A and B are shown apart, each in its own frame.
Chain A
Amino acid sequence: MMPSISAAAVLAQLLEVALALAGAPLLLGWVDQCRARLQNRRPPPLLQPYRVLRKLFQKESVVAESASPLFRGAPYVKFGCMTLACAIIPTLSTDLPLATAADAIALVGLFALARTFLALAAMDIGTAFGTLGARRDMLVGFLAEPALLMTLFCASLITHSTSLANMVQTLSQRPFALEPSLAFAGIAFTMVSLAENTRIPVDNPATHLELTMIHEALVLEYSARHLAMLEWAAALKLFAYSCMGLALFFPWGIAAGGTPQDMFTAMPALVFKLAVGGMTLALIETLSAKMRIFRVPEYLATAFLLAVIGLLVHQLLGS
């Protein structure tokens, strides 16, 4: 039998998805604004990502002549994957009906599914840039994915669960204690999130330089609504990663009960945490330089090793 589903839980679930869909571009705008301020530039308006989306939805869509349905479908697949990811990561409440459908391992699989589809779509046109982007993205992915899995496992070993909702609930309810393994995992997670969300020092979302670009090369052939879906999905991915990091390493303030009152207290906590998280991201991006593409494997291997060390530390110190 499926665990019984309460109306409040369904409400929480819907609210979470709606919040993610509506709020993800806002987070992106906030990060951009913080970054511009830190770099002494005049910041773009907070709502700039929404304007970009509106602009893209109104443009004419140009599709390459040789494009197969895979190319046109991939943006929607990525969007669908990211929506589901936002739905299963507990942001407001840990009582989510969809949370049982996919645990931490399946979540990593979900990100991999999106990545694979996009890489295949980029190869579909057969331009030099498309395959280049696909190759580089898969390069980032094959190291980032296991590293992400290992950081999640660090938390799983402490909570004896891979179910995200349970992990967050256990972490938030246990007495405060410094877990060395979680510290390692936290650093590794930050490194992986930067790489997965195509941020400096791994990739720069604001450049189209063929020597360095990864994600932009991947989506170079897309335009108009397809590009809008991809941009939106990228914002959702950043949102999902931020929420996941905040929920695992700063789990306070998430409603365990799932009653509407709990959710109302959870909302400001989430907004506050995301605002601080966005500022930190902007700070990291400003302080670090973009690295050469050949250094990326080293960087990600470091993240992977840190996460594995976290696991070993946990085993050494005993649970």
Chain B
Amino acid sequence: MIHIDGILAIVGIWLVLALAALLALRATRLVAHWIFPAGAALGAAMAGIALDAAFAPPEVAQLVLGLPGLPMHLRLDALSSFFLVVIGAGGCGISLFSAGYFRSQEGTPPGLLGFEYHLFLAAMAMVVLADDAYAFMVSWESMALSSFFLVTANHRVASVRQAGYLYLLIAHIGAIALLLCFGVLQADTGDYRFANLRAQHLDPLWSSIAFGLALFGFGAKAGLVPLHVWLPEAHPAAPSPVSALMSAVMLKTAIYGLLRVCLDLLHGGLWWWGVVLLVLGLASALLGVVFSTVQTEMKRLLAYSSIENIGLITAGIGLAVTFHAYGMTSLAALALSAALVHVLAHAFYKSLLFLGTGAVLHATGERNLGKLGGLIRSMPWVAWLVLVGALAGAGLPPLAGFVSEWLLLQSFLFTTALPNPFLDMLVPLVAAAVALVTALAGYAMVKFFGIVFLGQPREDKLLQAKDATGFERLGLAWFALGTLAMGLMPVRLIDLVDPLTRELVGGGLAAAVHANGWILLAPSGVERASYSPVVFLAGVSAGIVLGLLIARRLYHGARRRALPWACGMGPQAVALQGRLQDTAEGFGQPIRQIFEPFFHTTRTLPAPGDARPYYRVVIEDRIWLGAYLPVARLVDRVARTVARLQQGRISLYLLYSFVTLMVMLLLVRR
């Protein structure tokens, strides 16, 4: 009982903070220096409580809020605890950063942002606590609405309003699917508590329908292909801490929902569900990463990278579902652990990267990669901390992103003969796709970090860029240290997800891993595979030290600073260096060429005798052009047809009413 009360208390105080922020609408200093740090402390407390609760038996509670006779049921089990850790830890760092980020005279007053922000946090916590469909949907919609208002914080810009509209639209279409899903799950009993839904064992057809609806609803929120189009619009539109919160935490609530419905309420289901998840996940991952490498705006690049990561997580879940359906418990636990570790790792490093873009945006006012560059010299704090995130995002050892990649590849590799030969053939292909995606993610991350922070400034004003403020540095450091710590202590991560995999697929890795101590990660025996990030880091460090010692011992020359070599053209060319280096378009060009079928490219070439030649390439998403625009046009046409009824003349409307009345009366007489 203790844990859930603590969590509820924190949610309550978040709501109080939200109200307080609303009262202190324009008192920027009060909101920034008191309310946001208080929210951060609460986030840390929530993560702490949830960490403890993960190992405790499930707890339930009831809130008297809600409709008469229909209280909100809440339950804190291993699954919700894990996601509360994500929400708490993510919220803590992002709130710390926000304390230094939100300033006055930037669109929406900070108090209002603080209100929506804390409401958003509280709603996300309630989503994972909810234990009946009613409480779930209320929290889910509060989450969608509060985040919509956060996205449209800068609502005076037309493109921001459009992005917000698209987000709201897709969120609501998804919510309808979820409502229907719960409707199917309750199987005519009229009781929407999750305990009852769990007790209904639906036949394969109906459970598959419920799964399809859940996949659609949660996929819309998570950004799975083809429902991903809102992500690259909404993330750049929102203020950076909000993008971080949405990308790192909110997308994960959709993963939570998918796990809850698919593996808990539907008990795992059929094997082909897993294949559907796997294929959709990989399609999202590949599309996301390919698009992220060709972006020219830093937040869009990161938004596409989020699609990629969600795809990888979904692929891991898909694999776990298939294994679970075939009764291969330890493999299911391995794949699910990989997905969950990635949930946590992605929450940390993607927050770090998004917050970094926020700091850059504030310092330079620029989000276009083509106008940034060289910020490592004027903003060393941000640059070095973001470097940790970029390396983790590239899936490099010994950071957090690599652990999940490693586990995921292990689960592909040690797939013992599946009962279905078609699946057996699929496994190597899928492993190859995962390997390709992670390598491409490295490309995208090098592009992001290299273009923003390295090289020569592409604009003069960048030289005056100011480094992040104290609170901002704290927030960034929280995530950077977390990324590093998670990468170095994968065994602790396995411990954390172990109760959860036990609950969902009936097996865990903790026992196998503990046999080798905390330093070595070997989920299926040392002789099969092992990875020890601490020793790895020590080895690389030893190598570096050795190199330094050798250089010191053998080196006799002096050191001199000079201008970089500019093809022998002297100082005037050096002044042009900023323009000579690759642009964002240039760096992504090889990928654009190789993966040409992915994009819809429109090129405008200059005429041969053009005095001011202008070369223009527009890259668009084929899914947007092929699936969304036709639907939008259809809706538009239908609306226009219906609009013919509206002539704006009152006599005509009276006629409509009269005719309707007549028809009704006729019907009633029958």
Q: Is B a genuine binding partner of A?
A: yes
Residues of A in contact with B (beta carbons under 8 Å apart)? 1-3, 54, 57-66, 68, 70, 75-77, 79-84, 87-88, 98, 100-103, 105-106, 109-110, 112-113, 115-116, 119-120, 123-128, 130-132, 134-136, 138-139, 141-143, 145-146, 149-150, 153, 156-157, 160-163, 166, 220-221, 224-225, 228-229, 294, 297, 304, 307-308, 311-312, 314-316
On chain A, the residues within 8 Å of B455 by CB distance are 123-126, 130-131
On chain B, the residues within 8 Å of A54 by CB distance are 554
Interface positions of B from 585 to 612, Cβ below 8 Å from A: 586-587, 589-590, 593-594
B527 CB within 8 Å of chain A = yes
| A245–B236 alpha-carbon span in the complex (Å) | 46
Binds A, one of B105-113, B227-235, B477-485, B534-542: B534-542
Say yes or no: A80 contacts B560, CB within 8 Å: no
Q: How far is the CB of A47 from chain B (nearest CB, A)?
A: 16
Say yes or no: B442 contacts A141, CB within 8 Å: yes
- Sample of 11 further A-B pairs with CB below 8 A, known A123-B581, A163-B526: A63-B559, A76-B547, A77-B544, A84-B536, A113-B391, A116-B391, A123-B454, A139-B590, A163-B530, A228-B554, A315-B424
B614 CB within 8 Å of chain A = no
Given contacts A70-B454, A126-B373, A156-B413, contact A141 B439 (CB under 8 A): yes
Say yes or no: A315 contacts B427, CB within 8 Å: yes
Q: Which of B544, B581, B587 contacts A126 (CB 8 A)?
A: B581
Q: How far is the CB of A284 from chain B (nearest CB, A)?
A: 24
Interface positions of B from 355 to 376, Cβ below 8 Å from A: 373-374, 376
On chain A, the residues within 8 Å of B548 by CB distance are 76
Most buried by A among B425, B522, B546, B551: B551
What band does the interface of chain B fall in when counting residues whose beta carbon is under 8 Å from A? 35 or more
Q: Which of A2, A79, A120 contacts B544 (CB 8 A)?
A: A79
Say yes or no: B450 contacts A123, CB within 8 Å: yes
Say yes or no: A146 contacts B435, CB within 8 Å: yes
On chain A, the residues within 8 Å of B556 by CB distance are 57-58
B436 CB within 8 Å of chain A = yes
| A59–B581 alpha-carbon span in the complex (Å) | 28
On chain B, the residues within 8 Å of A131 by CB distance are 450, 455, 581-582, 586-587
On chain B, the residues within 8 Å of A314 by CB distance are 428
Say yes or no: B397 contacts A62, CB within 8 Å: no
Say yes or no: A68 contacts B440, CB within 8 Å: no
Say yes or no: A119 contacts B446, CB within 8 Å: yes
Contact residues of B: prevailing secondary structure: helix
Given contacts A139-B590, A149-B435, A308-B428, contact A105 B450 (CB under 8 A): no
Say yes or no: B394 contacts A112, CB within 8 Å: yes
Q: How far is the CB of A89 from chain B (nearest CB, A)?
A: 13
Task: Closest B residue to A88 by CB, please name it.
Answer: B539
On chain B, the residues within 8 Å of A83 by CB distance are 539, 542-543, 546-547
Given contacts A1-B516, A106-B406, contact A312 B428 (CB under 8 A): yes
Task: Closest B residue to A153 by CB, please name it.
Answer: B413
Say yes or no: A150 contacts B435, CB within 8 Å: yes
Most buried by B among A141, A146, A166: A146
Which are the 7 A-B pairs with shortest beta-carbon distances? A80-B543, A126-B455, A83-B543, A126-B456, A146-B435, A311-B428, A101-B535
Task: Closest A residue to B458 by CB, please name it.
Answer: A126
Q: How far is the CB of A117 from chain B (nearest CB, A)?
A: 9
Say yes or no: B443 contacts A138, CB within 8 Å: yes
Q: List 9 A-B contacts (CB under 8 A).
A: A57-B551, A76-B544, A103-B531, A112-B394, A128-B577, A145-B442, A163-B527, A229-B551, A308-B432
On chain B, the residues within 8 Å of A79 by CB distance are 543-544, 546-547
Q: How far is the CB of B615 from chain A (nearest CB, A)?
A: 18
Q: Which of A3, A70, A162 contacts B410 (CB 8 A)?
A: A162
B529 CB within 8 Å of chain A = yes
Binds A, one of B22-30, B116-124, B562-570: B562-570
On chain A, the residues within 8 Å of B590 by CB distance are 135-136, 139, 297
Interface string of B507-542 (1 = CB under 8 A from A): 000000001110110100011111110011001111
| A146–B285 alpha-carbon span in the complex (Å) | 15
| A60–B555 alpha-carbon span in the complex (Å) | 9
Say yes or no: B557 contacts A77, CB within 8 Å: no
| A110–B396 alpha-carbon span in the complex (Å) | 8
Given contacts A66-B377, A135-B586, contact A84 B413 (CB under 8 A): no
Say yes or no: B435 contacts A120, CB within 8 Å: no
| A123–B557 alpha-carbon span in the complex (Å) | 25
On chain B, the residues within 8 Å of A70 by CB distance are 376, 387, 454
Residues of B in contact with A (beta carbons under 8 Å apart)? 373-374, 376-377, 387, 391, 394-397, 402, 405-406, 409-410, 413-414, 424-425, 427-429, 431-432, 435-436, 438-440, 442-443, 445-447, 449-451, 454-456, 515-517, 519-520, 522, 526-532, 535-536, 539-548, 551, 554-567, 577-578, 580-582, 586-587, 589-590, 593-594
On chain A, the residues within 8 Å of B515 by CB distance are 1
Q: How far is the CB of A9 from chain B (nearest CB, A)?
A: 14
Say yes or no: A127 contacts B564, CB within 8 Å: yes
Say yes or no: A162 contacts B529, CB within 8 Å: yes
Q: Which of A57, A112, A297 contacts B396 (CB 8 A)?
A: A112
On chain B, the residues within 8 Å of A221 by CB distance are 564-565
| A142–B591 alpha-carbon span in the complex (Å) | 10
Say yes or no: B580 contacts A57, CB within 8 Å: no
Say yes or no: B528 contacts A63, CB within 8 Å: no
| A132–B394 alpha-carbon span in the complex (Å) | 20
Q: How far is the CB of B344 from chain A (nearest CB, A)?
A: 19
Q: Which of B428, B431, B558, B580 contacts A127 (CB 8 A)?
A: B580
Given contacts A60-B557, A60-B559, A123-B450, contact A162 B413 (CB under 8 A): yes
Q: How far is the CB of B487 from chain A (nearest CB, A)?
A: 11
| A103–B443 alpha-carbon span in the complex (Å) | 23
Q: How far is the CB of A11 from chain B (nearest CB, A)?
A: 17
Given contacts A101-B535, A127-B581, A225-B555, contact A84 B561 (CB under 8 A): no
On chain B, the residues within 8 Å of A297 by CB distance are 590, 594
Say yes or no: B543 contacts A66, CB within 8 Å: no
Q: How far is the CB of A39 from chain B (nearest CB, A)?
A: 30
Q: How far is the CB of A72 from chain B (nearest CB, A)?
A: 9
| A144–B565 alpha-carbon span in the complex (Å) | 30
Say yes or no: B526 contacts A57, CB within 8 Å: no
Most buried by B among A61, A70, A101: A101
Say yes or no: B560 contacts A63, CB within 8 Å: yes
On chain A, the residues within 8 Å of B519 by CB distance are 2
| A115–B580 alpha-carbon span in the complex (Å) | 23
Say yes or no: A105 contacts B531, CB within 8 Å: yes
Say yes or no: A126 contacts B577, CB within 8 Å: yes
Say yes or no: B544 contacts A57, CB within 8 Å: no
Given contacts A132-B582, A224-B557, contact A80 B528 (CB under 8 A): no
Say yes or no: B428 contacts A130, CB within 8 Å: no
On chain B, the residues within 8 Å of A156 by CB distance are 413
| A141–B455 alpha-carbon span in the complex (Å) | 21
Task: Closest B residue to A59 by CB, please name it.
Answer: B557
On chain A, the residues within 8 Å of B527 by CB distance are 161, 163, 166
On chain A, the residues within 8 Å of B397 by CB distance are 102, 106, 109-110, 113
Given contacts A61-B557, A77-B540, A103-B531, contact A220 B565 (CB under 8 A): yes
